[in-house]
Structure 1
Amino acid sequence: MGGSSTRLYSDLTPTLSSSVPPSLHTEDSNLDPDFCQEQKGSPLCPPDPVELLRQCEEALRDRAPRLHRKFTQLTDGDSAPRRPIRVMQWNILAQALGEGLDNFVQCPPEALSWSRRKYLILEEILSYRPDIVCLQEVDHYYDTLQPVLAGLGYSSSFCPKPWSPCLDVEGNNGPDGCALFYDQTRYELLDTSNIRLCAMRIPTNQVAVVTMLRCRTSGRCVCVGVTHLKARSGWEWLRSAQGSDLLRHLQTLVQKQDSSSRDVPLLVCGDFNAVPSEEVYRRFSTSPLSLDSAYKKLSEDGLTEPEFTSWKIRPTGECCTTLDYIWYSPGALRVDAVLNMPTEEQIGPNRLPSFSYPSDHLSLVCDFSFKEEEE
C-alpha cells in the first residue's frame, strides 16, 4: 500500500497504527505517534479532517482510481442555504461478513482486508464531511470509527444486533449493528433510543437508532433514525412489520418532543433490504408521517428511485438493485443537493466491493435545509 508512509493518527485509534500494512513501516516513515494524543477521552489536538483525508489517500495510493461522484444541485446559488444539513447513509459492510460469509466471488481477498478497508471507509466519510452519518453493518465501532470520528467532533450512538451473524465468523470483532454520528459543534442531543425492532410484538434481530437533535444556531429540532432491516428474499413480510414498528417509534418520539402544532421533521436512513416495489417501501411512502425518498430527486420525473444502490456478484449470480434510502419530511425540509451514483464503467466489471471501494453498498449523501431558511 505504498512505499512511504503518512502520519497516521495512531494514538487516536490504536487499531489504525497497529494494523498498518508492513509496506508502510519503512525507514523513512514519518509516522508520528504524537499526531493526536488523547487524555481521558478528550483530544488535546483534534486532527484536521483535511489532513486525515490526505493521509488515507496516501495510504491507499497504489489502489485503483476512486469512484469520483458529483453532486446534483437542486437549488440555485441564491436560494441555497449558507450551510446545509449534509446527511450520509451507508451500509459499510461488516468486516466479518465480507471476509467470512458474503462470498463476493469476483473480489480479491486482499481487497477485503481490514488493513485496507478502514482507510477506504474513512476516506469516503472524510471526503463528504457529513453533519450526520448513518451507518449499518458496523463491527469496528469501538476500536476505529467511534474514536476517529470523536476526534473530529462527532458524538455517536451504537446499537448492535442481538444475534449478529458476525459472531459466527472465526476471529470476529464482535457484533455488527447500526451507528449514528452527528457533529456536536452543530447539534445538541435531546434524546436518543436504541430500538430492537418487533414483528407482531415479537422482538427480531434487527435494530434501529433514533436520535432527536437541536441545531445550536437556529434552535430547530430534527429527528434522525438509522436502521437495517431483514435481508434476503422470502422475508418481505418481516421487513414490512419491522418498518411499521419503526414508524410507530418515530411517531412516538416526535410527539414526545413537539408540544406545538408544527411537527418535528424526520430524516430516516437505512439499508431496508427492500426494492421500491415492496410493501415496506409503500408503508414509508404512505405513512401519516408524510415522508418522501430524497434520492428520487435524481430522476427526471422526480418519482423514480435510482437503478441501484448495491451491485455485487455472489455464487448465485449478479445482483444490481436499490435497497438503501434517505427518507425525509418534505413539508419542513428541502433537498438542496444529491450525490450522484457512479456509472457501470466506474464500478467496473467485478462490481463491489473492490480495491477502490470498501462495500457492496454505495453511500448516499444529501444536503437538506429547513424550508423557513429560504423565506
Structure 2
Amino acid sequence: MEFLMKTSRLIVTSKTFARRVAVPIPSKVRMAKFNASQRHSHSLFIFSIILRKILYRKPEALMGSFNSAPKINNVDSQDDGLELPKGLSTPALLQHVQQLRGGGLEQPSLLNRYFVKSTVPDDDDEDVTDGLRCLKLNSVSRVCSAPVEGDGTQTIRLLQWNILSQTLGQHNDGFVRCPEEALTWQHRKYLIVQEILQNQPDVICLQEVDHFKFLQTVLGSQNYAGIFFPKPDSPCLYIEQNNGPDGCAIFYKRDKFQLMGYDTRILEVWRVQSNQVAIATRLRIKSSGQEFCVCTTHLKARHGALLAKLRNEQGRDLIRFVKQFAGESPLLLCGDFNAEPIEPIYATILNCDLMKLGSAYADMKMDREKILEPCDDANEWVSQSIKREPPYTTWKIREEGEVCHTIDYVFYTPEQLKIKNCLAFPDGEEIGKNRTPSYQYPSDHFSLVCDFELINDNVDGAGTEAKTHDIIQ
C-alpha cells in the first residue's frame, strides 16, 4: 500500500511536470474534451515509465559496484577456439576436462554429494534410481544412485542450476572469501561440466548463462541440444570484457527426446516488460510417445518488500505463460526464483488456480497419497511445504556478509509426475568456511537434481499447441 501511495504521488508529480513542459493548448474547451479514458491512459503511461526505471535500474544502482559506463555489446566469442577429441564417452570426456583443468593432487575435487530417496517408497520400489544409470568415474565420481535393471524410458532426470555468470561473478558480485583464481573462467568451466555430466541428466535447466557456445560444444558432444534466451538488458553488457548477455538455457538428450516446440517470454510486471526471461519446451519421449513440458526462469534479484512484490507479479505472468504453453501436459517448472519460501511468490505458485503444482524437494519428505489429497486449507498446505524445503540452495559470503537461504526450486505436477530421488546438498563442513564459489565448487548456487517418473500415460500432446521456433543444435 505504501508503494502504491508513493507511486500515486509520483504519477501526480509527473503529470504536473508534463503539463508544464507540454505544448500549450489553445483553449479551455479542448481541455474539457479529455475524457476519463484518456486521463487513465496518461496515468498508466507515466506509471509504466516509473516502473521501467525500477525494473531496468542502472547497473551501478542495481548491482552496487559498476561504474557509470556505456553498454558494451560484446558477443559470445571467448570459447571459439575450443576443440574436443571426437567420439569421447561421457566418462572419457570428464577425464579429459579433468586434465584440462590441471589434474593431479593440487586441484581439489568437486564437492561430494549423494541422492536421497523418497522417504515413503512404493511397495515394489526397492532401488534408489528406478532405471536411471550411474557413471563410475573413479576420482571424478561422486556417490551417485546405483543402477538397476530397466531402460528408464518413463523416467526423467532434471538438473536445475544457476551456474553463475562469469562476467558478474568475477568482476562484480563481491565474493570476498573466494580466491581470484577460483573465479576465473579457465578454472570454473571444467567444474561446471563435471557437475552437470557426472549426474547424467536428461534435461538441463540453467540460469546466468553467458558462455552458451562453450556449453553447446561440450554438451553437444554428449548428444544434448540446447536453447538459449538472453535477458533483454543483461547487466553483463555494462562490464568491460564481457562475453555477451547472460540468460537462461535448456538442454535435452536428443537420443531420448524429440523437441516438439518451444517458446520464450520476457516476463511482465503490470503489463510492463521486465529484464527477466523464461523458456518453455515441449518434449516427447521417443520410446513411448509421451509428452511433457519443461520451463525455466530467473526472477528479479535483491531484497525488499517492493522487489518481493515485483517477483510475485513476474511469477503470475510466468504461470500464465506456462499454462498457455503446456496445456494439460505434465510440467516441470524450475529456476532461480530469488525468493525464499516465505515470499508471496512461493504461495502464488503452489496455490495457482490454473494448475496444481508441488515443490519436488519439499515433497520428497511426504507420502505421495497425502500430496494428492484435496486440501481445504491452502495456506496451511503452503505452510507445511515451506517447512519441508531444504535450508539452503545457495551459500556465499559477500561484502555485506554471509548469505545462506533457499531460493532455487523445481516445481512439478504431482498428478502426472512422481518424485523419486533428489540430490542432497553438502553440509557446512563439507562446503568449507569460505563457502561458495570456491576451488571445489564453481557457483554460489548448488545444482538441484531430481528424478521423476511419468505416471500419466494418457498424455498425447493434446495441450495447447506450442509455438515453433528454429532449434539451436
Kindly indicate whether residue 400 of structure 2 is the aligned counterpart of residue 316 of structure 1. Answer: yes
Kindly indicate whether residue 263 of structure 2 is the aligned counterpart of residue 201 of structure 1. Answer: no
Report if the CA contact (8 A) 2:364-2:420 is conserved: no
Partner residue in 2 for 1:8: none
- Letter matched to residue 71 of structure 1: F
Partner residue in 2 for 1:253: 325
Q: Where do 1:34-73 residues align within 5 Å?
A: 35-36=85-86, 45=87, 47-58=88-99, 59-61=101-103, 62-73=106-117
- Which deviations, in whole Å up to 9, do the C-alpha atoms of 1:239-283 show, x marking residues without a partner? 00111101001111123xxxxxxx211001100000000111111
Partner residue in 2 for 1:5: none
Aligned-pair RMSD on alpha carbons?
Answer: 2.0
Kindly indicate whether residue 281 of structure 2 is the aligned counterpart of residue 211 of structure 1. Answer: yes
Partner residue in 1 for 2:43: none
Partner residue in 2 for 1:343: 427
Report if the CA contact (8 A) 1:159-1:178 is conserved: yes
Report if the CA contact (8 A) 1:227-1:269 is conserved: yes
Kindly indicate whether residue 192 of structure 2 is the aligned counterpart of residue 192 of structure 1. Answer: no
1:290 to 332, 335, 356: 356
Q: Where do 1:223-238 residues align within 5 Å?
A: 223-234=293-304, 235-238=307-310
- Report the Cα distance in structure 2 between the residues aligned to 1:358 and 1:319, rounded to whole angstroms: 17
Question: SS state of the match for residue 283, structure 2?
Answer: strand
Partner residue in 2 for 1:161: 231
- Report the Cα distance in structure 1 between the residues aligned to 2:84 and 2:437, rounded to whole angstroms: 33
- Report the Cα distance in structure 2 between the residues aligned to 1:148 and 1:80, rounded to whole angstroms: 28
Q: Compared with structure 1, are the counterparts of its residues 60 and 295 closer, same or farther at alpha carbon in structure 2 (3 Å cutoff)?
A: farther
Please report the TM-score for the alignment, with normalisation by the length of structure 2. 0.67
- Which deviations, in whole Å up to 9, do the C-alpha atoms of 1:67-92 show, x marking residues without a partner? 11110122433793532210000000
- Which deviations, in whole Å up to 9, do the C-alpha atoms of 1:148-204 show, x marking residues without a partner? 111211111100001101111110000000000000111111110111000111000
The count of residues paired between Structure 1 and Structure 2 equals 331
Report if the CA contact (8 A) 1:298-1:340 is conserved: no
Question: SS state of the match for residue 356, structure 1?
Answer: coil
- Report the Cα distance in structure 2 between the residues aligned to 1:120 and 1:108, rounded to whole angstroms: 15
- Letter matched to residue 393 of structure 2: T
- Report the Cα distance in structure 1 between the residues aligned to 2:301 and 2:102, rounded to whole angstroms: 31
- Report the Cα distance in structure 2 between the residues aligned to 1:176 and 1:137, rounded to whole angstroms: 5
**Which of the two has higher C-alpha Rg?**
2
1:117 to 188, 199, 208: 188
More helix by share: 2
Question: SS state of the match for residue 198, structure 2?
Answer: helix
1:280 to 345, 356, 365: 345
- Letter matched to residue 272 of structure 1: F
Partner residue in 1 for 2:449: 365
Question: SS state of the match for residue 274, structure 1?
Answer: coil
Q: Compared with structure 1, are the counterparts of its residues 34 and 348 closer, same or farther at alpha carbon in structure 2 (3 Å cutoff)?
A: closer
User: Unaligned stretches of 5+ in structure 1?
Assistant: 1-12, 20-32, 37-44, 256-262
Q: Compared with structure 1, are the counterparts of its residues 17 and 52 closer, same or farther at alpha carbon in structure 2 (3 Å cutoff)?
A: farther
- Letter matched to residue 360 of structure 1: D
Report if the CA contact (8 A) 2:77-2:243 is conserved: no
- Letter matched to residue 48 of structure 1: S
More strand by share: 1
Partner residue in 2 for 1:30: none
Q: How many angstroms does 1:298 deviate by? A: 4.8
Q: Compared with structure 1, are the counterparts of its residues 253 and 246 closer, same or farther at alpha carbon in structure 2 (3 Å cutoff)?
A: same
Q: How many angstroms does 1:297 deviate by? A: 3.7
Partner residue in 1 for 2:165: 94
- Letter matched to residue 250 of structure 1: V
- Report the Cα distance in structure 1 between the residues aligned to 2:220 and 2:85, rounded to whole angstroms: 15
Q: Compared with structure 1, are the counterparts of its residues 334 and 299 closer, same or farther at alpha carbon in structure 2 (3 Å cutoff)?
A: closer
Identical columns (%):
45
- Which deviations, in whole Å up to 9, do the C-alpha atoms of 1:283-302 show, x marking residues without a partner? 11111310101011454798
- Report the Cα distance in structure 1 between the residues aligned to 2:290 and 2:176, rounded to whole angstroms: 47
Report if the CA contact (8 A) 1:284-1:291 is conserved: yes
- Which deviations, in whole Å up to 9, do the C-alpha atoms of 1:22-57 show, x marking residues without a partner? xxxxxxxxxxx6722xxxxxxxx4x31111111223
Q: How many angstroms does 1:231 deviate by? A: 0.1
Q: How many angstroms does 1:18 deviate by? A: 5.2
Report if the CA contact (8 A) 2:78-2:243 is conserved: no
- Report the Cα distance in structure 1 between the residues aligned to 2:364 and 2:112, rounded to whole angstroms: 17
Q: How many angstroms does 1:17 deviate by? A: 9.2
Q: Compared with structure 1, are the counterparts of its residues 254 and 297 closer, same or farther at alpha carbon in structure 2 (3 Å cutoff)?
A: closer
